[in-house]
Amino acid sequence: MSQPIPFADTNFKLAVVQELMYNQNLLPRFDLREYAAAQGFTYDERSFGAVPEALAYFEALEVPAELAGEITEIYMDGGNEIYLEIAPGWDGEDGLFDVDEFADVRHFPNLKSMTLLYTGNQEALEALRARGIEADWL
């Protein structure tokens, strides 16, 4: 197994894991209910915030570098499974999963398209476009 991808931004990592885990089934699926039962913790299903144990799981999850080439598109949407597994009651109305740092795009040579949760960071959008990535807000 190759080295894990060293992510600079956790929320960028979550967007990548959404694609690899839930869209392409290349990583074992995480299910919060099953994980909570197995780990012996409870959580509020209506909470808008992140369940600390779920967020910690994804922060610790290693994404093998050999999967980087599988990422051609990132589509961030408030309804993505990964966000609802981390924050089951999240409504997408705050910046909980906003990407602040885009240096991680360097790990994904085949990334051609990104649809981002709106942050208003026009500079980041232009920087992605300058790298040849078709980028826009959701």
CA pair distance 76, 114, nearest whole angstrom: 8
Q: What is the pTM of this model?
A: 0.96
**Digitized pLDDT (tens) for each residue of the chain, 138 residues in all:** 579 999 999 999 999 999 999 999 999 999 999 999 999 999 999 988 999 999 999 999 999 999 999 999 999 999 999 999 999 999 888 999 999 889 999 999 999 999 999 888 899 999 999 999 999 998
Whole-number pLDDT of residue 89: 94
Helix axes 52-60, 10-17, angle to 10 degrees: 80
Residue spans per domain, the chain: 10-137
CA pair distance 126, 138, nearest whole angstrom: 15
